[in-house]
Amino acid sequence: MARIESTLVSVDVLTLRFDARARAVLLAVAPRGSDPFAGALALPGVLLGRGERLRDAALRAVTGKLGLDGSAVTATGQLATFDEPSRDPRGPTLSVALWATVDPAAPASGPIWTPPAEVPALAFDHDRIVADCRPMLADRLWRDVPFTAGLLGREFTTAQALDVTESLTGDRPYPANLGRTMDRVPGLERTEQHAAALPKGGRPPLVWRWTSTG
């Protein structure tokens, strides 16, 4: 009962980065270099090597396909597995979708960064992967500490927290309500410091800091 004909596994990564200047969370896509859909935009993905961990494959995809530094990836996690047999024209391939957060302070040249809600048409079934996974990402914010900390970095302001929440959920909470939400996030501490105000003015926002998580 030797079975050689197993489905190949690819790992496709929803790489998120908070761009403080753009005041938005952006998703990385890159043009494909090789044949199926060469030149078309796609999520970074690699075939899972034998014995390779999903997280390692995701790092390989972010490093190799996006050209980012692996040390800039602050956290990763699973989203879902996509199994339509026709999703890859080369033949049946399973796709395990992972998320990865990139340090907002790290250099980010290489990939094309786009708001997750306005991703251009992508290769394979990557449009569907993005559409299916977006609500899962929104659901993680403020509930999944590694995800949230990875996205916002060690220190951030209330204004940035508002921007991130609006990017992922689609609407901007009241600062007062978001502050109370953040007060309940374990490992997140409201400091006494105020950051600089925005260019347009306004009261300087508070600084928040992670205590436990890196």
Residues of this chain that bind its own copies (CB under 8 A): 1, 3, 5-9, 34, 47-54, 78, 80-81, 83, 85, 91-92, 94, 96
- Choose the one of DNA, its own copies, none that binds residue 176, judging by a C-beta under 5 to 8 angstroms depending on kind: DNA
Nearer to DNA, 24 or 43 (CB): 24
Binding letters toward DNA, positions 134-173, x by CB under 7 A: ------------------------xx--x----------x
Looking only at the bridges linking them, the beta strands covering 24-31 and 41-42 are: antiparallel
Query: Residue 177, interface with DNA (CB under 7 A)?
Result: yes
Say which DSSP state 205 is in: P
131 or 197: whose CB is closer to DNA? 197
Nearest of 208, 62, 39 to residue 122 by alpha carbon: 39
CB atoms within 10 A of CB 33: 10
203 binds DNA (CB under 7 A): yes
Which among DNA, its own copies, none contacts residue 53 (Cβ within 5 to 8 A by kind)? its own copies
Question: Under a CB-based contact definition with an 8 Å cutoff, are residues 59 and 144 in contact?
Answer: no
Q: Measure the CA–CA gap between 43 and 123, rounded to whole angstroms.
A: 8
Residue 199 contact, options DNA, its own copies, none, Cβ 5-8 Å cut-off depending on partner type: DNA
Other Cβ atoms less than 10 A from the Cβ of 114: the count is 16
Three-class SS of residue 138? helix
Rounded (5°) CA angle 47-80-99: 70
Comparing CB distances to DNA, the nearer of 8 and 198 is: 198
Residue whose CB is less far from DNA, 91 or 201: 201
Instruction: Count residues near DNA (CB under 7 A).
Output: 24
**207: which residues sit within 8 A by CB, 6+ positions away?**
155, 156, 157, 191, 193, 194, 195
- What are the C-alpha distances in Å from 108 to residues 8, 19, 78, 160, 173? 30, 9, 23, 18, 28
User: Considering CB distances under 5 to 8 angstroms, the limit depending on partner class, which of its own copies, DNA, none binds residue 110?
Assistant: none
Among positions 174, 186, 211, 214, the unique one binding DNA when judged by CB under 7 A: 174
- Nearer Cβ to its own copies (50/200): 50
Cβ 68 to its own copies, closest distance in Å? 21
Binding site for DNA (CB under 7 A): 158-159, 162, 173-177, 179-181, 184, 194, 196-206
